[in-house]
Amino acid sequence: MPANTFGEIFRLTTFGESHGKAIGGIIDGCPPGLLLDLEMIQSELNRRRPGQSNISSPRNEPDEVVFLSGLFEGKTTGTPLAFMINSKDQQSKDYSHLETAFRPSHADYTYQVKYGLRDYRGGGRSSARETASRVVAGAIARQFLASQQVSFTAFVTQIGIEKLQDYPEIVSSLEIEKSLVRCPVPEASERMQQLIEEMKEKGDTLGGVITCYIDGLPVGLGAPVFDKFHADLAKAMLSINAVKAFEYGSGFAGVEMPGSQHNDSFTSRDGKLRTLTNNSGGVQGGITNGERLYFRTAFKPVATIMQKQQTVDKFGKDILLEAKGRHDVCVVPRAVPIVEAMAALVTIDHFLRHKIYQHTQ
């Protein structure tokens, strides 16, 4: 069964492989009349692209998006928005040694068994390059949601063993983007960057955690059974390459709290019903309650390391694999715009679903 589409009303279908001619997507269900800021979309792609610094992959892709349909005089028409991002800096020869080898902790083995063949050049369809299409769609969703006073702020809170002890309540995009690792706390940012550089010297890799705030959500997004807002958010995050865990609100720490401490008591403030605390993380019963929604997404260490590793080939023969090509030591800083994009795709889809529900009452 094809699994290349995300969303029910605002639907994104992506296409393309890591070393193909292009990647891209088709967005169906985008509301008409939205004046798109194309520079903002490109800036989001620039935040995700490789070659940003000496701690990211040196692959040099301009990642310039071209829209093929769905726009007229700069505004969305309500018809399918089709876009494409050409690939210009593939070095497929770097992956020729992987034609029969199964890389440890990669999708090579499972992909081969499921489909009977695989594009070994950079991972093919299982490559994180596919996420560039998500960033384009997410940037469009964010522009629509900005008109509804909904905003997204993601930032790095942990790289390896280096982590923030306290998360800042207010974070500006300027503070985030000033940091090579997209951590808004300068002291922690320096420690994280140093750790990445040390690991690069060893030919090893690191994982980390991205925290995201969604502010301005109205009350009522989501549904109480299978379409819980946080459940769809979890699926969105876990669909991102290298993600191993997701938690929202108090998360795992909540199990250490008694109910009397964990419960979010209600109060009336400024004519609105609010909660005194926010251990629920902005969602109760699968439905947004109007408070800040916050969540954390954990990324594993990059599977491709610059060290020899024991593995097998597709014939079952033991081999010693030595990686080649251009790879990140830690993907977490580049994943920040991807996390924001996927959060925006979940939000706009639920927002539009909620509007339809309201109109049928």
CATH code (residue 226): 3.60.150.10
What average pLDDT does the segment 166-179 reach?
A: 94
Tens-digit pLDDT profile for residues 67-82: 999 999 999 999 999 9
pLDDT at residue 61 in the model: 72
Q: What is the pLDDT of residue 30?
A: 97
Convert the pLDDT of each residue in 285-295 to its tens digit. Answer: 999 999 999 99
Residue 115: partners with Cβ closer than 8 Å, 6 or more residues away: none
Q: pLDDT band at residue 200, thresholds of 50, 70 and 90?
A: very high
Domain with 100, as residue range(s), is 5-359
CB burial of 157-196 (b: ≥16 within 10 Å; e: otherwise) equals bbbbebebeeeeeebeeebbeebbbbbbbeebbebbbebb
Quick one: pLDDT at residue 92?
55
Stronger pLDDT, 153 or 112, i.e. the higher one:
153
**Quick one: pLDDT band at residue 93, thresholds 50, 70, 90?**
low
Band of pLDDT at residue 162, cut at 50, 70 and 90:
very high
Which pLDDT score, from 0 to 100, does residue 90 have? 58
pLDDT score recorded for residue 36? 97
Q: Which of 126-130, 154-158, 252-256, 324-328 has the lowest mean pLDDT?
A: 324-328
Domain total in the chain: 1
Q: pTM of whole model > 0.75? A: yes
pLDDT attached to residue 359: 56
Q: What is the pLDDT of residues 11-50, one digit of tens each?
A: 999 999 888 889 999 999 999 999 999 999 999 999 998 7
State the average pLDDT for the chain. Answer: 92
pLDDT at 1 over 70: no
Give the pLDDT confidence score for residue 348 in this predicted structure: 98
- Residues 343/212, Cβ–Cβ less than 8 Å: yes
